[in-house]
A and B are shown apart, each in its own frame.
Chain A
Amino acid sequence: MELKRRVMLAAAPLTAVSMLLTACGGTDAASTAIPAAATAVATMAPGAAAGAATAMTGAATVVATNVTGMTGGTGKLEMFSWWTTGGEEAGLKALYALYKTDHANVEIVNQAVAGAAGSDAKAVLKARMLGGDPPDSFQVHMGHELLDGYVAAGQVEPLDDLYKSEGFDKAFPQGVLDIVSGKGPDGVQHFWSVPVNIHRANVLWYNKTVLSANGITSPPATFADFFKDADILKAKGITPLALGDKVPFASAHLFETVLVGTLGVDGYKGLWTGGTKWDAAKVTEALNNFKKMLGYINSDHAALTWDQANDQLIAGKAAMTIMGDWVDADYKAKKFTDYGWANAPGTAGVYDALSDTFALPKGAKDHDNALAWLKLAGSRAGQDAFNPLKGSIPARIDAGQGDYDAYLKSAITDWKKDTIVPSVVHGAAAKDGWAQAYTDAVNTFVTSQDVAATQKSLVQAAADNLK
């Protein structure tokens, strides 16, 4: 009896609390759970916007003090990226080291999430941004991936002041300025991120010895040349074109270069603005070219990632591969020197570009440290420290002095004279929803090789996203 009373005494307040909770749960959770949750998410952006607006008014002064030699600073810098291996990581670490020389007391928190082309990192970032827990700065591809994504959602700050004070608006070529700027939620044109590098997507890499041993004196420049050379190689039991599309971006990347090569600059650019119809005969021709190319790839392509496919080229089992110029850093890391490069078939004089940029989320906890980071990433010293290691070229026109290898030197030259087109697989040409639908369609095609059905999917994807 005594025990029972004690239990009752203990249980009484507990009961009261839990009754209260159930009562709240009964009215709130059940009847208004959905709208409540809805407004929670919906108001998050404006709420953050309000906070950021005050931050923005202060931002101009902050930038000013920052720029005129703010060394030091305390607290943290949480940097989000998908650079976890090889040259990428080395480049990032070099930037960190530079940052540390001026900001010795800032603790850099390296939030890097592994995964090819950043697909998994982007998922983590999206969850954090939507959950209201942004990092201080994050890596994002230049172009529509950012503009139609976080910019449209009002989750990043415009960087106009930084561009002006640091002279970025004159340091980057017009082609880049056009792609990093866009209308914000306020309907005004702003700069949204700072490009640290430029990569090229339309590069054909080849094993010099394998080509010359089979009597091929120069790499193929057109599709006709490519198929002719591929037949020679195939007859010798060599895989003409190495592909590793375990992560489907690789085949979508290959098809992107085929689209550029088949449709030309204006035709390709028009695909993403509505100027070129996806049901055009030229797109059918591109799909047929791609289909023919798929007849020359390694049979285990679906088991390999792009760098594993590249190993076949290094081993001499494959002759060529078409991949972005991060391949150059991969060769360097694997100490392979017997390679040459050329533009992917049909893309002479075209620079299919993508760029890694850094953006500043609204509500970043260490706003000033993040601004200092962006300033460094866009500076000549920062770009020339980062790019030779990463295996990319600087976005700045006045940079490019440093330890760049032969390929990168040639790319720096091309960058100044070639026509720039935006890459779709790497976020520049279209928003991520469209890029994903495109990638899905191409990945289905690699197996089905059904030209009509794939073209229909691509037409549908364009209709969904060109609004």
Chain B
Amino acid sequence: MNRVHQEATVAVPAALPQIRKAPISRDRLISIALISPSILAIAVFVYGFIAQTAWVSLVKWDNLKPDYTFVGLYNYDRLFQNQRFQIDLTNTLVFTVLFIIACLGIGLLLATLLDQKIRFEALFRNIFMFPLAVSFIVTGVAWRWLLTPSSGVNLILNALGLLNKDPNKWPGWFTDPTFGIKAVVIAAVWQMSGYVMAMYLAGLRGIPEELREAARVDGATEWQIFRRVIFPLLQPITLSAVIILGHISLKIFDLTKSMTGPGAGFSTDVPALFMYDTTFSGSHFSQGAAIAMVLLFFVSLLIIPYLIYNFRTEVQT
């Protein structure tokens, strides 16, 4: 930049005083003016409130009346000893792992099938994408009905003769404490796998046909092409999908709230539900803030490496 300016001053001496008066160029000024409102809004409404939540999690606000007595990490200490929170962390881990694996698997499978130049491709694509248009609340209510043991899926399975004659031995789905959160995974996967399919489909369409042709010429089987050529090229898509799915699963609230609630023995409980209950039913505002910070920490574990990765690739290019 500097060099350009110097050259300009040398070439056009008349412009010299003007540049000295305005060290920031006009374009720069305009761009600052245009982005500053949004920077300000984000600073206050995102980072400001994160900072306030962090502060509340370190004080003794344990009733309706705010109490800003500093207690250090006491709230976190109590939180990690809490039985319900321990169950929540396990549930979140199970949910996140199963949800991501199932969405990626099903999404990739559907995308690969759709990429076979089949008839009515647009129709199928839309069918698989449609669940995404529904809110998690609706998904939750519908799947609650579907997976209630005495109705829905069990009646279909029973009609097919797949279930025990004694209704008491039918699968309990989310009401079964050992199955619990996995039932929520089913509903979440139903909703999100179409989205992953769309991402993969876009990725597949972006891979030039020449690469496949070249591999075929080299004598690779279709499976080898997929395994050695296509799959590695889809890696950035997989990474994006994992980030998107991961942060959804860590923050999930609406789906469990409408589908199951905390569940028997908290078998379908998640940290966000606990946060809601402890803050608004129990008035433990500091504990609620501590849960929020723990959630933020987990999400950052996922997001920050991604941002660093992105930053590095941008610098390289």
Contact = CB atoms under 8 A, between A and B. Distances in A.
B64 A153 contact: yes
A69 to B, nearest CB: 36
B26 A8 contact: yes
B267 interface: yes
A7 B30 contact: yes
A197 B111 CA distance: 60
A444 B260 contact: no
A34 B52 contact: yes
Given A444-B87, A457-B83, A42 B66 contact: yes
Contacts of B44: 25, 29, 33
Contact of A443 (B52, B266, B282): B266
Contacts of B29: 11, 15
Contact of B280 (A42, A122, A300, A431): A122
A130 B30 contact: no
B39 A22 contact: yes
Contacts of B55: 34, 38
Contact of A123 (B84, B149, B266, B281): B281
A44 B316 CA distance: 52
A42 B36 CA distance: 30
Interface in A1-36: 4, 7-8, 11, 14-15, 18-19, 21-22, 25, 29-30, 33-34
A14 B172 CA distance: 61
B65 A436 contact: no
Interface string A296-328: 000111110000000000000000000000000
Contacts of A443: 262, 264-266
B203 interface: no
A44 to B, nearest CB: 9
Interface of A is mostly: helix
A300 B150 CA distance: 8
Given A15-B33, A19-B36, A300 B262 contact: no
Interface string A166-179: 00000000000000
A347 B65 CA distance: 37
Contact of A453 (B32, B83, B262): B83
A11 B33 contact: yes
A441 to B, nearest CB: 8
A435 B281 CA distance: 9
Nearest to B87: A444
A38 B68 contact: yes
A451 interface: no
Which one of B55, B277, B280 has the greatest number of beta carbons of chain A within 10 Å?
Answer: B280
Interface stretch (A224-232, A243-251, A329-337): A243-251
A33 B84 contact: no
A144 to B, nearest CB: 11
A433 B61 CA distance: 12
B276 A433 contact: no
Contact of B52 (A14, A33, A247): A33
Interface size classification for chain B:
35 or more
Given A15-B29, A246-B260, A447-B177, A45 B65 contact: yes
B154 to A, nearest CB: 10
Nearest to B85: A440
A150 interface: yes
B168 A436 contact: no
A34 to B, nearest CB: 5
A150 B283 CA distance: 11
Nearest to B268: A302
Contacts of A445: 265
Contact of B64 (A7, A21, A150): A150
A33 B63 CA distance: 22
A302 B174 contact: yes
A2 to B, nearest CB: 14
A155 B43 contact: no
A29 B44 CA distance: 7
B66 A127 contact: no
B40 A432 contact: no
A38 B281 contact: no
Residue in B48, B87, B175, B283 whose Cβ sees the most chain A Cβ within 10 Å: B283
Interface string B272-307: 000011111111100000000000000000000000
B90 to A, nearest CB: 13
- The range of chain A's interface size is 35 or more
B151 to A, nearest CB: 9
A240 B68 CA distance: 50
Nearest to A38: B68
Nearest to A116: B261
Nearest to B48: A33
Contacts of B265: 443-448
Given A152-B64, A153-B63, A155-B64, A302 B43 contact: no
Contacts of B238: none
A412 B244 CA distance: 58
Contacts of B208: none
B62 interface: yes
A29 B43 contact: yes
B262 A299 contact: no
Nearest to B52: A37
Contacts of A155: 64
B66 A303 contact: no
A38 B44 CA distance: 14
A123 B281 CA distance: 6
Given A300-B150, A436-B281, A11 B30 contact: yes
B148 interface: yes
B37 interface: yes
B51 interface: yes
A30 B47 CA distance: 9
Interface in B90-142: none
Nearest to B287: A433
B64 A129 contact: yes
Given A29-B43, A432-B282, A42 B87 contact: no
Contacts of B40: 18, 21-22, 25, 29
Contact of A436 (B26, B63, B282): B282
Contact of A299 (B26, B149, B263, B281): B149
Contacts of B261: 246-248
A340 interface: no
Nearest to B263: A302
Interface in A22-72: 22, 25, 29-30, 33-34, 37-38, 41-42, 45
Contacts of A299: 149, 168, 172, 175
A149 B283 contact: yes
Nearest to B59: A38
Contacts of A152: 63-65
21 contacts: A22-B40, A29-B44, A33-B44, A38-B52, A123-B281, A126-B64, A148-B63, A149-B64, A152-B65, A154-B65, A245-B264, A246-B260, A247-B261, A301-B264, A302-B263, A303-B149, A303-B173, A432-B283, A433-B62, A436-B278, A447-B264
When A and B form their complex, which 6 residue pairs have the shortest distance between CB atoms, in order from nearest? A447-B265, A123-B280, A436-B282, A302-B264, A153-B64, A153-B65
